Structure 1
Amino acid sequence: MVFNIALSAFVLALPLLLVDAASTKRSMCSDGRSAAANSACCAVFPVVEDIVDNLFTNECGDSAHGALRLLFHDAIGISPTAGGGGADGSIATFNATELTFPANLGIDDILDDLGPFLLKHSNVLSAGDFIQLAGAVSLVQCPGAPRIPFFMGRPAPVAASPPNLVPQPTDDITTILDRFGSVGFSPAEVVAVVGGSHSVAGADDVVPNFEGVPFDQTPAQFDTQIFVDVLLRGTAFTDGQGAQSGESETAVAGTVRLQSDGLLARDPRTACTWQSFVNQQSKMAQAFGEAVLKLSFLGQNQHELTDCSEVIPQAIALKTGAATFPPGKTVKDIELSCNDAKFPNLRTQPGPATTVSPIPQAVSTSTAAPAS
């Protein structure tokens, strides 16, 4: 936590979705390789290159997953009654406070990885901008994920987020929907942002010894498999930790299911939206991207920000993204919760059941300068 201590002293309705600057006149940046519609964006291209090569190492791995989680935990820290700055970077600048919040357990890992890069590039981006940039860039490391717009110009945060604003996996469905609803998110948008982010995610310190255990069979690609796996009938942890932490075992060996995901997949207010994303890759990516962009503007005035979307690398197409049933499983193993639509016809994977491998934990290759 050496970095986190240092960072505490460092106070620093757009139509979506696919970023397309082809119709905008752009000028060549001084590096002779990049072009931008706004010259202020030129300074961001080296930042992107640095974090792609040295933070994410060109992989949809642990650091990329963590950066996306950090984007959400920072942005949701705002309430019309309790206050907070939203997507302002307070989770980094005031980490000594916000990392004590139970919902932020495990966030210190990604802050330790990402923090030196934030400090290195603090002359270009505020903490809020950097977290949003890292989240957007993390997505395009994952095949199938959307390329979302990026805006810069957020001022430095002035205070820590109030506590209890980040939804937890142990929350009931009404609490989760009300929390999102208070900042303008519909139940359908909640399903999109939560389900989409968990398609490339895994357990992170929520249950001891379960770090890196994925939430679905394909944590290295952004696809709709999560919407199938969460609906499969599972079993509870025998040691009781699952009930306490909000996680339970699933029918897919080597994965865990968040209690909150299970509720979203089965509650009448959200079940049909959850099911509607199965094998609907484009629909899911579009809805997720729109929700993440909406998160990025919480607490911010979009009209005071600069559109630097061209700095985000191209998205990676998903080659084999069809959702499937695990070996030996069929629609009979699905806990059907949507009465308005038939569950899609899916192929069952051949062969004996296998165990999904844990997500390899990040090994930093940072070339970032240490904080002074």
Structure 2
Amino acid sequence: MKPSTLSVLPLVYVTTVAASLSRTTCSKGRTVANAACCVWFNVLDDIQTNLFERQCGDDAHDALRLSFHDAIGYSPHLGGGGADGSLIQFSTTELNYDANAGLEDIVDSERTLADKWGVSYGDMIQFAATVSVGNCPGGPKISFMAGRPNATQAAPDGLVPEAFDSVSTILARVADAGLTPGDLVALLASHSVGFQEHVDPTIPPTPFDLTPSVFDTKFFYDTMFRLGDVWPGSANNKGEVKSPFPREFRLQSDALLAHDPRTTAYWFEFSLSHSLMANSFATAMAKMALLGQNSKNLYDCSDVVPNPVGHIF
């Protein structure tokens, strides 16, 4: 005999109540499923008030860049611990690598915050990145896993792809770390809110496009369909190509990836759909944050990550 609807409902109710009672109350009445995650509410408040100022500004952009540069420092063949915080732990070594130029300030800021709240540098880097994305209109909510151990050694030089690298070199590097071409293109959505500072240091930081710091499809569309004919600053910088607009800065690697047969299909799809781009970015970010880590040793603190701000279109 099939159970009646009335006999099932009490079981659902009991399960729901039990799940609700199992949550832990943290500061300011906020709750989490895992009590070990409570500290991240304190980190969140500190970051938003004293570092990001709840804006998608320079520090938020740098935090997002730092998360990639730390995580991609992983190779089963060459060494590196991936998303382990080595860029902070061994900053005196890794900040000397050319690819990490400009990360000094955000490294110092995140080191101070991590030491203040007693969290690992690897966790600090990835958590700050998830918060930074949520501050940028159009950015998705990204999951956050905590519990990374401290790095034990510096990542070797040469693991971070450069803007002047060929597509084959870039794809080989990310594949060695465990990322697919689709993951890479999805992660480049971050360039829609990025600023250049070191490819052409003769000009002040300018957005990659003319919109505010917004995660949108315009970056993908413009890079694929609008060929450049002007330099926004000095000409022929290594890693730069001409832009279609006087104030837009375009990386050579972006231009090449947009038209390479191994990546152009992803690029085209993201130029057409914000939801596809945002969801793919969130998935790729979560995957990247686990490079070099054993996920079985981590615990989910995604319920601390605030919902992202609205988007502008």
TM-score by length of 2: 0.89
1:266 aligns with 2:251: no
> Which deviates the most, 94-103 or 233-242?
233-242
Structure 2 contact 27–41 (Cα < 8 Å) conserved: no
Cα drift, residue 213 of structure 1: 1.3
Matched, 1:146 2:140: yes
Q: Match of 2:280, as an amino acid? A: A
Q: Identify which of 140, 152, 158 aligns with 1:158.
A: 152
SS of 1:64's partner is helix
Q: What residue identity is the alignment partner of 2:79?
A: G
Which residue of 135, 159, 165 maps to 2:129? 135
Stretches of structure 2 that go unaligned for 5 or more consecutive residues are 1-17
Structure 2 residue aligned with 1:59? 55
How big is the shift at 1:249? 3.5
Q: Secondary structure at the match of 2:38?
A: helix
Question: Quick check: 1:152–1:306 contact (8 Å CA) kept in 2?
Answer: yes
Cross-structure match for 1:346: none
Tell me, yes or no, if the aligned pair for 2:111 and 2:121 is still in contact at 8 Å.
no
Residue 163 of structure 1 and its aligned partner are, at CA, apart by 0.8
Amino acid of the structure 1 residue aligned with 2:103:
I
Partner Cα distance (1:107, 1:75) in 2: 14
Aligned ranges for residues 239-250 of structure 1 at < 5 Å? 241-244=235-238, 246-250=239-243
Pair 1:216 & 2:212 matched: no
Q: Is the 8 A contact 1:77 1:85 kept in 2?
A: yes
Give, in whole Å, the separation in 1 of the partners of 2:204 and 2:158: 23
Deviations 1:52-105 (A, max 9, x none): 111100111111110000000000000111011000000011011101111111
Distance 2:123 2:218 in 1: 31
* Aligned partner letter, 2:71: A
Instruction: Name the counterpart of 2:87.
Output: 91
3-state SS, counterpart of residue 84 of structure 1: strand
Matched, 1:303 2:296: yes
User: Displacement of 1:168 after TM fit?
Assistant: 0.3
Equivalent residue, structure 1, for 2:8:
none
Alpha-carbon distance in 1 for matches of 2:109, 2:290 = 24
Match of 2:248 in 1: 255
Could you tell me the percent identity over the aligned residues?
44
Q: TM-score, normalised by structure 1?
A: 0.76
What displacement does 1:251 show? 1.0
Alignment of 1:4-43 (within 5 A): 25=20, 26-43=22-39
How many angstroms does 1:253 deviate by? 2.5
Equivalent residue for 2:192?
199
Question: Which residue does the alignment assign to 1:225?
Answer: 218
Closer, same or farther: CA 242–48 of 1 in aligned 2, 3 Å: farther
CA deviation profile, 1:172-192 (whole Å, cap 9, x unmatched) = 000001111112222122111
Among 183, 207, 213, the alignment partner of 2:177 is: 183
Alignment of 1:343-362 (within 5 A): none
CA RMSD of aligned residues (A): 1.9
Aligned length: 295
Asked if 2 retains the 8 angstrom alpha-carbon contact of 1:191 and 1:274, the reply is yes
Partner amino acid, structure 2, of 1:227: F
In 2, the alpha carbon distance for the partners of 1:262 and 1:45 equals: 39
Larger Rg: 2
Kept in 2, the 8 Å contact 1:90–1:160? The answer is yes
Counterparts of 2:300 and 2:204, CA distance in 1: 36
Q: 1:139-159: per-residue Cα shift (whole Å, max 9, x none)?
A: 000111111111111001001
Asked if structure 2 preserves the Cα contact closer than 8 Å seen for 1:265 and 1:274, the reply is: yes
